[in-house]
Structure 1
Amino acid sequence: MLSTVRNDDVTQKDADRAVVVAVTSRAVFECGADDDEVYKVGRAFPLLQALRRVNERLLEQDSAETLLFDVVLVTTDRQQQQQRSRIISSTRRHGLEVGRFCFSSEEDFIEGLLKNSVGLFLTTEGDEASQASQKGVVSALLEQQTTSCSSEKLRVFFCGDSVIQPETGPTPASRAAAQSFSTQVGEMRRKFSMTDSPLSVVMVMSRGGRDSCCAALHTLRFRGVSVDEVYCLAGAPRGPILSELRPHFWLSDGFSSLEE
């Protein structure tokens, strides 16, 4: 049974302009004992803080700003479904800026993502990320390293290889969604200076040389995305450098693990 509950404790975002990010409750909270009144925060907590920080800075610059992150908390776990009041109260207790709660079964969570116009779906489960990507929802895995990410600056990593080889994405719909999301992130980034930004955009090129890297940068700039840092690995494993740089999430036209 699919249901969406609005969180009236936070200001609702403009549906036409907001960048909707859905995060699974398993990534946000650690399920404790049955008598725990409030869940402990999980690996996605620094991510949600960083998203909120971007929103705060955007509104500091322009109180009428509508291009903001809008977070949806997705719950498919049956046990947590029965404890939805605890999930909502845990969100409030920890001061998380969650606009809506989407409760669904494992079979219809994709419908929930589509109904909530989700632009990016973040999960700890590869199967969920794969299913969402196949249905045209940009998806990424939240690795354990996310727990040590900065809560003050959102670090978004783009896969340069998929930027110049978009045919490698799982579906045309997911490729189009990835381009749309990157354009929105680029527009957000341009609202801040080069030296004082709560949002950092990084491109990592796993294969190819300087020409391939330049081609990927040109494509991102054509989409309106200015890149803060570039790393050309020329075939070297990307896992070690990504673990060191600690991105909040890694974006390709499909989904990807930082350990690849």
Structure 2
Amino acid sequence: MEKEQQIYEQQGMEEYIKYQVEHETQPFSPGPAFSFVKALEAVNTRLRELYPESEELFDVVLMTNNQEYIDQRLINTINHHQLRFCMTGGNHTYHTNLYLSADPVKVREALEEGIAAATMFTPEKITEVSETPLRVTFDGDGVLFSDEAENLFNEEGLEKFLENEKTHANKPLGHGPLKGFLEALGKLQKKFYGKGQRMDCPIRTYLVTARDEDISGIRAKNTLQSWGLEIDETYFLAGAPKGPILEKIRAHIFFDDKMSYVEEAAKMGIVACHVPYGKANRESQERD
């Protein structure tokens, strides 16, 4: 809805309404979350086959401002793309496992309410990905984990960081804003495992982190184990670029708290989301 948003911002509400009514039968084009949502629905299809009576599925809620003026066009778009959505106005105060928006202000508000949230960016050309399995990629510190270790690294350097990680190898890191979303994915994965489909599970999770595999990686692994959570594939890059690994994974969505990695991923056509969490991001926002 980028063109429509520009009309709203530059020409005002009346021109926006007029344009939407005139283009009511024209479906909206897919946005950056489109392939992610299609993959969620593919998981739901498999879940319904295995658990016909279960309501434990992905629920996708589409939230938009000025909904009353575009209801019919949204319905036509949803039907055209054969999607399943609930629709509501632009309020995210109810409980949700993940909130995505192109508006960083709304994302920060959601995070402040304790809701897992991230800002989506649209690559110039989105890499095509297969509909299944659903592939979700997380950064570690500031995303799955708190930013406590990252702050020590930024303030006191690599040597102090590694010393601290070695000393506290068996002390779990605090949880980050997207831990709950990983838990939700893991809960649904176990439904497939319970039917003997671990190897054919349509959900795969990845951890792609700048930590190394030895000292700091051990603490990350121990933290996940203490939470009772599994990651299907883990990549400890020791500060190397993330782009080549992300290109190999071809994830439907990638979360990182550093804009440099988000931008790197976007250049490769990967749908990347910024998680504006932690001290470094707060200080950046204050400077802005």
Q: Is the structural similarity TM-score above 0.5?
A: yes
- Stretches of structure 1 lacking an aligned partner (at least 5 in a row): 1-24, 105-111
Q: Distance in 1 between matches of 2:146 and 2:176?
A: 13
Please show how residues 1-260 of structure 1 align to structure 2 within 5 Å. Answer: 34-35=22-23, 37=25, 38-76=27-65, 78=66, 81-98=68-85, 100-104=86-90, 112-115=91-94, 117-144=95-122, 148-162=128-142, 163-167=144-148, 178-192=178-192, 193-251=197-255, 258-259=262-263
SS at match of 1:73: strand
- Tell me, yes or no, if the aligned pair for 1:120 and 1:181 is still in contact at 8 Å: yes
Q: Distance in 2 between matches of 1:166 and 1:182?
A: 17
Return the offset for 1:69. 0.6
1:228 maps to amino acid: D
SS at match of 2:74: helix
- Between Structure 1 and Structure 2, whose CA radius of gyration is higher? 2
SS at match of 1:41: coil
| Compared CA separation, residues 121 and 48, structure 1 to 2 (3 A) | same
- Stretches of structure 2 lacking an aligned partner (at least 5 in a row): 8-18, 151-173, 265-288
Q: Which moved more, 1:46-55 or 1:133-142?
A: 133-142
Return the offset for 1:54. 0.9
SS at match of 2:40: helix
Q: Distance in 1 between matches of 2:87 and 2:40?
A: 17
Return the offset for 1:234. 0.3
Q: Which moved more, 1:32-41 or 1:63-72?
A: 32-41
**Structure with greater proportional helix content:** 2
RMSD: 3.2
Q: Distance in 1 between matches of 2:214 and 2:89?
A: 46
Q: Distance in 2 between matches of 1:150 and 1:127?
A: 31
Q: Distance in 1 between matches of 2:34 and 2:203?
A: 17
Number of positions where the alignment pairs a residue of Structure 1 with one of Structure 2: 217
2:128 maps to amino acid: S
Identity across the alignment (%)? 30
Partner of 1:20: none
| Compared CA separation, residues 113 and 41, structure 1 to 2 (3 A) | same
- Tell me, yes or no, if the aligned pair for 1:121 and 1:132 is still in contact at 8 Å: yes
| Compared CA separation, residues 154 and 44, structure 1 to 2 (3 A) | same
TM-score, normalised to structure 1's length?
0.70
Q: Distance in 1 between matches of 2:250 and 2:40?
A: 15
Q: Distance in 2 between matches of 1:54 and 1:188?
A: 9
Q: Distance in 1 between matches of 2:198 and 2:216?
A: 25
Cα deviation, 1:72-103, whole Å, max 9, x if unaligned, reads 00112x4x6522221122112221111x2112
**Structure with greater proportional strand content:** 1
